[in-house]
């Protein structure tokens, strides 16, 4: 895994704005596209970026943020790996007079005055969209037996994508989640969780709902190795809609990808500039997202940017 970032004092030659960004890690295709978008946007805007990955570990993110405070960066931005446990470090940043922007994932249980804005998708709505697509697709089925592959335990997208899916499921009595486990948003663990589900429920499984594409791709491998056809014997729906998901749709192995855009860099750097210029930012900046059933994959694939 590539790791960047610098130690020591931040140099402010040329009066450039310095942003410290603490990234979750490199767990998924989404995350890699997100990191690229942030680095590119910083370059485009002439902003100096200190970029550090945390291997999906909160302790490491807290350490990184503390080092950004010591280095007196102008703005701290981070994608919180889990939703809770940030109050202390956010207070340290506030005491040092350094503004904090949340990127991609939200936090819970902190006073909103501890951060400037939150830029990211509506994860509850993404979960609802996956469930609505599934309800239309399985209309009239007497049973809809589901395996749910959850994201990182305690992370905002895992909590919210479950919540949104459950909300819609309540109106569809045929929906039944047979098995649910975390695959930590990675392909390897998505595959392992699916193998475990198949070992117990085998051919009774009719649907996989994966909180991200990477886990869905892992599940697809597990289904094939089990001797069933993903996309046909077992429907697969996932969230992110990366190019890898589009490829799987074109191969008939994935049935639907609900979009969550990782291309947050331009909006993030814009927010940094506005904040530095003394402009008020909205507390929430929502990104726009769509749903792509496999029927639309072919026409969309070539223009896909991540």
Q: Under the rule (CB under 6 A), what is the footprint of ligand GYE?
A: 27-28, 30-31, 104-105, 157, 185, 212, 214, 239-240, 260
Min dist. Cβ of residue 71 to ligand GYE (A): 26
Min dist. Cβ of residue 105 to ligand GYE (A): 5
Min dist. Cβ of residue 173 to ligand GYE (A): 29
For ligand GYE, the closer CB: 235 or 244: 244
Min dist. Cβ of residue 30 to ligand GYE (A): 3
List of residues 6+ apart from 79 with CB closer than 8 A: 22, 23, 24, 34, 102, 103, 104, 105
Distance (Å, whole) CA 69 – CA 51: 14
Contact criterion met (CB below 8 Å) for 43 and 72: no
3-state secondary structure of 210: strand
Query: Residue 139, Cβ neighbours under 10 Å: how many?
Result: 10
Min dist. Cβ of residue 258 to ligand GYE (A): 10
Contact criterion met (CB below 8 Å) for 125 and 273: no
Backbone region of residue 55 per phi and psi (left: phi > 0; alpha: psi in -120 to 50; beta: other values): left
For ligand GYE, the closer CB: 157 or 230: 157
For ligand GYE, the closer CB: 122 or 204: 122
For ligand GYE, the closer CB: 82 or 144: 82
Contact criterion met (CB below 8 Å) for 242 and 252: no
For ligand GYE, the closer CB: 98 or 258: 258
Min dist. Cβ of residue 79 to ligand GYE (A): 7
Min dist. Cβ of residue 275 to ligand GYE (A): 22
For ligand GYE, the closer CB: 78 or 185: 185
Token pair of 122 as six digits: 């509506």
Q: Give the orientation angle of helix 213-225 with respect to helix 29-45, to 10 degrees.
A: 150
Min dist. Cβ of residue 53 to ligand GYE (A): 12
Distance (Å, whole) CA 293 – CA 84: 34
Distance (Å, whole) CA 113 – CA 79: 17
For ligand GYE, the closer CB: 47 or 82: 82
DSSP assigned state of 234: B
Distance (Å, whole) CA 219 – CA 122: 25
For ligand GYE, the closer CB: 48 or 192: 192
């Amino acid at each position: 895994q590539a790791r960047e970032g610098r130690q020591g004092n931040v140099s402010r030659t040329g009066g450039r704005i310095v942003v410290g960004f603490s990234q979750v890690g490199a767990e998924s295709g989404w995350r890699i596209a997100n990191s690229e978008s942030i680095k590119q946007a910083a370059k485009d805007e002439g902003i100096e970026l200190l970029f550090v990955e945390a291997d999906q570990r909160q302790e490491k993110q807290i350490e990184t943020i503390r080092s950004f405070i010591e280095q007196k960066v102008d703005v701290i931005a981070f994608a919180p790996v889990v939703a809770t446990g940030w109050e202390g470090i956010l207070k340290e940043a506030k005491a040092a007079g350094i503004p904090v922007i949340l990127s991609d994932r939200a936090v819970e249980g902190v006073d909103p005055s501890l951060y400037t804005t939150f830029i990211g998708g509506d994860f509850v709505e993404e979960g609802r969209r996956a469930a609505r697509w599934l309800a239309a697709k399985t209309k009239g089925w007497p049973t809809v037996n589901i395996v749910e592959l959850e994201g990182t335990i305690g992370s905002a997208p895992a909590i919210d994508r479950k919540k949104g899916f459950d909300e819609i499921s309540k109106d569809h009595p045929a929906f039944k989640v047979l098995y649910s486990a975390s695959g930590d948003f990675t392909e390897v663990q998505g595959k392992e969780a699916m193998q475990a589900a198949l070992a117990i429920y085998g051919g009774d499984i009719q649907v996989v709902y994966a909180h991200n594409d990477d886990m869905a791709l892992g599940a697809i491998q597990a289904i094939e190795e089990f001797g069933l056809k993903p996309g046909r014997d077992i429907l697969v729906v996932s969230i992110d809609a990366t190019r890898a998901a589009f490829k799987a749709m074109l191969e008939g192995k994935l049935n639907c990808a609900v979009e969550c855009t990782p291309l947050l860099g331009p909006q993030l750097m814009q927010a940094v500039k506005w904040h530095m210029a003394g402009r008020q930012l909205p507390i929430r900046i929502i990104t726009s997202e769509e749903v792509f059933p496999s029927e639309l994959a072919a026409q969309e694939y070539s223009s896909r940017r991540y």
